[in-house]
Amino acid sequence: QVQLVQSGSELKESGASVKVSCKASGYTFNRYGIYWVRQAPGQGLEWMGWINTHSGNPTYAQGFTGRFVFSLDTSVSTTYLQIFSLLAEDTAFYYCAREDNWFFDSWGQGTLVTVSS
């Protein structure tokens, strides 16, 4: 079955960087885009952007340009989210999700990134 498995929780200091992974299984990896969604504590879901797993081309939503980078390694069916120069407001759960015909049919379990100041 389709599965997205994310890396574990991270505790980082302000100014550091973090890399979250999302490993896909159960389907042909490069046939579906992978999207990233942020959920700050007690807040709603926020679309961050996506990466085309066929071309590797990333697209970033407004507010997620500059410090956020999506990448992938097709050899291990894994996409990555890197956040540089972490700020306290980056503290959130980060989810990867597979997009199928304009909705997100499978989600990773989420990765909590905590930034201490």
Partner 1 sequence: QSALAQPASVSGSPGQSITISCTGTSSDVGNYNRVSWYQQHPGKAPKVIIYETDKRPSGVSNRFSASKSGNTASLTISGLQAEDEADYSCCSYAGDNTFIFGRGTRLTVL
Give the residues lining the site for partner 1 (CB under 8 A).
33, 35, 37, 43-47, 50, 59, 61-62, 95, 97, 101-105, 107-110
Closest to partner 1 by CB, 14 vs 65, is 65
- What string of DSSP letters covers 11-79? EEETT--EEEEEEEESS-GGGS-EEEEEE-TT--EEEEEEE-TTT--EEE-TT-SSSEEEEEEGGGTEE
Closest to partner 1 by CB, 86 vs 108, is 108
Closest to partner 1 by CB, 16 vs 61, is 61
Closest to partner 1 by CB, 10 vs 46, is 46
Q: Min. distance of Cβ 14 from partner 1 in angstroms?
A: 26
Q: Min. distance of Cβ 102 from partner 1 in angstroms?
A: 4
Q: Min. distance of Cβ 11 from partner 1 in angstroms?
A: 18
Q: Min. distance of Cβ 3 from partner 1 in angstroms?
A: 12
Sign, CA torsion 64/39/103/35: positive
Q: Is 10 helix (H, G, I), strand (E, B) or coil?
A: strand
Residues 92 and 54: their CA atoms lie apart, in Å, by: 28
